[in-house]
Structure 1
Amino acid sequence: MKFVLNINKVFEELLLQEDTDQDKKITKDDNGPKCFLLVDENTKAEEEIIGTYQLSNLLQELAQLKETNSELGEVDLSRIQENPVHRISRKIKDDYWDELTRTIDKKGLTQIIEDEKTSSKVSTLYVSEKDKQGVIYFKALEAELPNFKVQVLPENYSAEYVETLNEKPGILALALEQKIYSLQGVPFVVPGGRFNEMYGWDSYFIGVGLLIDNKIALALAIAENFKYQIIYYGKILNANRSYYLTRTQPPLYSSLIIEIAKKGIQSLDWLKIHLETIILEYNTVWMVQGNRLTPTGLNRYKADGIGMPFEVEPGHFDDILESYALKYNLPIREFEKQYLQRTIIDSNLDEYFVHDRSMRESGHDTTNRLINRCANLNSVDINSFLYKYEKDIAYLITTYFSDTFAFDNVAYTAEDWEQKAIFRKNKINELCWNEQAGMYFDYDFVNQKQFPFEAATTFFPLWAGLCDGDQATKLVKIALPQFVKTGGITGSTKSSTADIGINAPQRQWDYPFGWAPHQILLWDGLIKYNFVDKAQEMVYRWLWLITRNAVDYNGTIPEKFDLEISSHKVFAEYGNVGTEFDYIAKEGFGWVNASYQYGLQILNEELKTKLAELISPEDLF
């Protein structure tokens, strides 16, 4: 049934009555009567809209109608009273992915130039000199776009060169494709909120969500931009901004190609080109001895770069810089200035920032697991990802290329990659598995001992398939209960952060915070080892949290959650992206959107029904 309404009049009356805290949302925190009478302008039919969820849905529908600039508009009551699971999933598929899509081209740069991260009056775009087509295209745009400058990156840039770009930071070009009338940017999907760049491991999880929602072209575009970055920047970047040129991200390129290949939607030539690029990345980014490859034969995160990471907010490192400012008898801001200008060089502080940059390369920025030690660790996460690379490459060669694949004057066989995987699996189990704890721990190869921080990355070997049955059982029976809260698993156990000082920063990847990638990789691992009932439970917990939060808070889908209180109200470094909007949530958050769509693919029909009824996990499991 549809009601014809005076859009602005009803919108203002609804807000006046129900948005009592005047935050431009209707949430469970408002103290209105939670009941609003709709009257059709034509028929004078009446309908009571009752409760936070329906009232916030009405607000969202009216906000969309306001964009038409019409006096009257139709509100469909079925949308107001919609099953919340259906509503969230529908909006992700029909609206959110499109809202999160960007391009680096004439049209897309207009939006990106206005990005809040652009501090100077002139926006700079960097393009590799190897990309001849890109240089010509973007140079031509300088004359067309106001306050826009193109700078060409040399083919072989150094960390020292990248540091000089901090004086004029900018976005990095991505792939272009020839359309009928013009070159256009190959699209990518940003995480959400303030982000206008393509993030590395976010993009894999987003790609999984896109494939589920039949956004095939966008998923393929992510793979194309992965390939572009490896060819033109030497790695899949932390994100495509100038100050990330020295950092990569957790390697999930092969996993995306496997997901695409399983859809059967690409040619053998397409797969060949991407397999070549995966092998190129594996050899040149991860397997260079002394860089990301260590003497143990396992890998680490190891970013290049000098001094403090550029992207952090002012004051972020004050807890670290304070003691150094005292050491040099300087005010903290003056010490920071001189350290950044390298008029003061301190080897201990330099080493701290090597670890900090490497931690940011891991995607876990930040966690006490990696603070001031990341580059010393054969971490469970990176080695699980690379084991999966080796297995994926073997699978692709066997399945599509008759067991042999020639690239760069080397004939690779599937057996070659199986042997690499076997070596890595044995080493991970030798150095990282802790039988007593029933967990995997990062191995400190410098001090030759495990670092026993209990992190959700202990479940990554389940996802990668490198555990034996006994290890998998211990992870599920012994380790998992220590991470489980009502709404999913936390980034670490509470005990692992118990000794952290009360004045220390609350690290967003530790307890009590919950993140979509941890949940997704856990679900996959549980299913892989046939813990089907446990997988159903863990999917339900996370999807209940997203649904409950969206119902109570005007459709909010945030970057992360505080699992101790089952809420998006996070008090940690960097805040919580995806929670700031007026009237209507238009985009959600990339990998949380994907986790919702993916989880619904796993969840059985009985639990989907209970999810729509918002039955608490504590009443079910």
Structure 2
Amino acid sequence: MVNSVEDVFDDTENEIGDSSPVRNKIDINIDEPKSKPQIECKECKSYVYCQGPLLYDYQFSGLFNDSKTFVDKRLLFPEEEIVRKYTALKKSRGGELSRAELETFLAENFADGNELIPFEPPDFTSEPSVLGYIQDGQYRRFAAKLNEVWKTLARVVDRDVLENPRMHSLLYVPNTVIIPGGRFTEVYYWDTYWIVKGLLLCDMFDTAKGVIDNIIYLVKKYGYMLNGSRNYYENRSQPPLLIPMVAAYYQLKQDEAWLLENLPVLELEFQFWMNNRMINVKKDGKTYRMAHYSVETCGPRPESFKEDFTLASNLTSDEERTNLYIELKTAAETGWDFSQRWTKTPPGQTESLLYLKTRSIIPVDLNAFLQLNAHYLSNWFFMAGDISKGEYYLQIAEELLTAIDEVMWREDLKSWFDWDNEDGQSRVDFYASNLTPLWTGSYRKAPQEMGKFAVEYLVSQGIISEDGIPRYLGIPTTLKNFGQQWEAPNMWPPLQMIGIQGLDNTLYPKAQQVAYRLGAKYLETNYVGFVRTGQMFEKYDMNQLGSIGGGGEYVPQTGFGWSNGACFEILSRYGHKLRSPQEYPLPN
């Protein structure tokens, strides 16, 4: 009797046997490595969306240009039935199906997702208050058009996802979803922070609250926020910004009842990181507890299955392949997927993702985010009258602050740096994330002194001139380019806002001047790109005005949630003095 998908494979394993080259590859490299991995892996159990021969066959079928296309489809029949039919069909064909047979089976058993239904939020207004901050007529019209984009990104999830969850990779959430755009048709964790900030500036308070409540809903269900709202993202998160989202809404609306009601969920999400992502870091005879990214799942990323499997084929042992899959998923958890920031390439070797060592790197930004989260939790528990928990989270905030200062800060270089926990040293390359403690306030020195240091650091790296003039169209992600998308010449919206607002928050006049100039440059390239194409991009080129950023595993995307949010933040802060480039008039 067959009771589960696993039973289907168990019953047919001997029948298909060694005659199935696909099954052999899955056995060796994914499901049952001959060399047992050093850690116990946690896998999404779906034998359609996450692992198994069917997934392998379709991801290598050549039917899709993007590996994400297949795993975003919905099932027309229960998973066990589809796997049973597929296994029988494959057996009847001697263990291998033709492209035409794969296409036919796909059409008969799968359909395009279409679970996200276009929806106009009731609180949308065509005249948000942010327009009143903008003096320049062209930029005001640009902001009005950006505001309209919210309607094109708004969705609600089909109730069939709630009623038949195993027929979908998409996870149900109850409120309006603002998708990032392009291939990203689900909720993403850290994207959502800048989407929320943009919604708040556009007076869409109910939508912003609902978007935050969607993440709270998923945290209640899983105990943490996933990388995104798909089942194949299980056991993988992203930079933890739920608590700052809640803070942004609360600071504006002062909804204390809502905050206190959700405080246990915010604590749950924070404790996920404390319980699963903290390790010992030793420096100068002291031991610190600090955070790193670490995703202990062993197979390829389902949404990039072919790419990961192909890369791993360069390795000779199952243990090496398993470790690479873990590192790839861990790098995806950082939000920086991918970047030389996470590799440790041996001397004389060509830079490659084969040398990912993400788990051994202690990131500046992650520890700063968690320090800020602990600070907020402490304040809110004190407000709730829970003195014990207020003091507990205050202690965590102080311990992280000490670790950031003593492990990551380099007085000689006037900046913070990621820490290589394997080699016991700073990684002193420029990464835009080095500025994150300015944004989170994770330092003890006087703010103006930190602003002065930050300007000196940016000058030393050639990001700005001695006079504080930006040399690029914003803040580069890195200064080196090895072909990954989280490297030069790309600029990413969250890194712009972290750097610009971090500098501005120091109140050091020159740092604030640099922040304004960086914001003006970055807004201008967004605006020119919009004038030329009518689109907002996921990322921008730091050298070419109005040009989309490139690199990475997928074609450049448009939309785009966090780019829109970043522009609204710049316009709300500097709109009274920003001037649009007159040679690029906005079409009617």
Give the alignment's TM-score, normalised by structure 1: 0.64
Q: Contact (CA 8 Å) 2:489, 2:549: kept in 1 or not?
A: no
| 1:341-420 equivalent positions in 2, closer than 5 A | 346-371=318-343, 372-398=356-382, 400-402=383-385, 404=386, 411-413=388-390, 415-420=391-396
Query: What corresponds to 2:249 in structure 1?
Result: 260
Give unmatched runs, 5+ long, in structure 1. Answer: 1-81, 110-124, 126-133, 140-149, 152-167, 175-184, 328-344, 406-410, 501-505, 580-587, 616-621
CA distance in 2, matches of 1:514, 1:377: 22
Does residue 453 in structure 1 map to residue 429 in structure 2? Answer: yes
Query: What corresponds to 1:486 in structure 2?
Result: 472
Deviations 1:270-310 (A, max 9, x none): 11122221111111x1111xx31101300011113112111
Query: What corresponds to 1:23 in structure 2?
Result: none
Query: What corresponds to 2:280 in structure 1?
Result: 295
CA distance in 1, matches of 2:224, 2:257: 22
**One-letter amino acid matched to 2:323:** E
| 1:330-345 equivalent positions in 2, closer than 5 A | none
Query: What corresponds to 1:559 in structure 2?
Result: 538
Residues 453 and 308 of structure 1, relative CA distance in 2, 3 Å threshold: farther
Q: Contact (CA 8 Å) 1:482, 1:493: kept in 2 or not?
A: no
**One-letter amino acid matched to 2:431:** A
SS state of the match for residue 537, structure 1?
helix
**One-letter amino acid matched to 1:281:** E
Residues 265 and 432 of structure 1, relative CA distance in 2, 3 Å threshold: closer
CA distance in 2, matches of 1:598, 1:488: 15
Query: What corresponds to 1:619 in structure 2?
Result: none
Q: Contact (CA 8 Å) 2:363, 2:419: kept in 1 or not?
A: yes
Match of 2:489 among 496, 508, 512: 512
| 1:54-65 equivalent positions in 2, closer than 5 A | none
SS state of the match for residue 294, structure 1?
strand
Deviations 1:311-368 (A, max 9, x none): 11634664x33532xx4xxxxxxxxxxxxxxxxx611222222221111111111111
| 1:128-527 equivalent positions in 2, closer than 5 A | 134=162, 138-139=163-164, 150-151=165-166, 170-174=169-173, 185-266=174-255, 268-283=256-271, 285-288=272-275, 291-296=276-281, 297-312=289-304, 314-315=306-307, 318=310, 320-324=311-315, 327=316, 346-371=318-343, 372-398=356-382, 400-402=383-385, 404=386, 411-413=388-390, 415-467=391-443, 468-469=445-446, 470-479=449-458, 482-483=462-463, 484-494=470-480, 497=481, 500=482, 506-527=483-504
Identity %: 24
CA distance in 1, matches of 2:357, 2:451: 28
Deviations 1:124-181 (A, max 9, x none): x4xxxxxxxx5xxx14xxxxxxxxxx32xxxxxxxxxxxxxxxx8711122xxxxxxx
CA distance in 1, matches of 2:158, 2:296: 29
SS state of the match for residue 298, structure 1?
strand
Residues 558 and 427 of structure 1, relative CA distance in 2, 3 Å threshold: same
Give the alignment's TM-score, normalised by structure 2: 0.67
Does residue 539 in structure 1 map to residue 523 in structure 2? Answer: no
Q: Contact (CA 8 Å) 1:257, 1:274: kept in 2 or not?
A: no
1:562, CA displacement in angstroms? 1.3
Query: What corresponds to 2:65 in structure 1?
Result: none
CA distance in 1, matches of 2:518, 2:394: 31
Q: Contact (CA 8 Å) 1:201, 1:251: kept in 2 or not?
A: yes
CA distance in 2, matches of 1:423, 1:439: 19
Which of the pair is proportionally richer in strand?
1
Query: What corresponds to 2:156 in structure 1?
Result: 103
Q: Contact (CA 8 Å) 1:559, 1:576: kept in 2 or not?
A: no
SS state of the match for residue 601, structure 1?
helix
Query: What corresponds to 2:25 in structure 1?
Result: none
Give unmatched runs, 5+ long, in structure 2. Answer: 1-135, 282-288, 344-355, 464-469
CA distance in 2, matches of 1:613, 1:464: 36
Residues 356 and 575 of structure 1, relative CA distance in 2, 3 Å threshold: closer
Residues 478 and 270 of structure 1, relative CA distance in 2, 3 Å threshold: same
Query: What corresponds to 1:177 in structure 2?
Result: none
SS state of the match for residue 243, structure 1?
helix
CA distance in 2, matches of 1:473, 1:248: 34
CA distance in 2, matches of 1:614, 1:462: 35
1:575, CA displacement in angstroms? 4.6
SS state of the match for residue 611, structure 1?
coil
SS state of the match for residue 518, structure 1?
helix
1:471, CA displacement in angstroms? 4.2
1:392, CA displacement in angstroms? 1.3
Match of 2:528 among 545, 548, 563: 548
SS state of the match for residue 102, structure 1?
strand
Residues 593 and 382 of structure 1, relative CA distance in 2, 3 Å threshold: same
| 1:559-578 equivalent positions in 2, closer than 5 A | 559-575=538-554, 577-578=556-557
CA distance in 1, matches of 2:400, 2:303: 34
**One-letter amino acid matched to 2:363:** S
Does residue 611 in structure 1 map to residue 580 in structure 2? Answer: yes
CA distance in 1, matches of 2:517, 2:295: 37
Deviations 1:428-479 (A, max 9, x none): 1211122232222111223322223321100101001113244442222223
Q: Contact (CA 8 Å) 1:485, 1:563: kept in 2 or not?
A: no
**One-letter amino acid matched to 1:293:** M
**One-letter amino acid matched to 1:90:** A
**One-letter amino acid matched to 1:271:** L
Q: Contact (CA 8 Å) 2:235, 2:296: kept in 1 or not?
A: yes
Q: Contact (CA 8 Å) 1:438, 1:479: kept in 2 or not?
A: no
CA distance in 2, matches of 1:509, 1:444: 19
**One-letter amino acid matched to 2:336:** H
CA distance in 1, matches of 2:149, 2:561: 8
Say what the alpha-carbon RMSD is for the aligned residues.
2.3
CA distance in 1, matches of 2:473, 2:179: 25
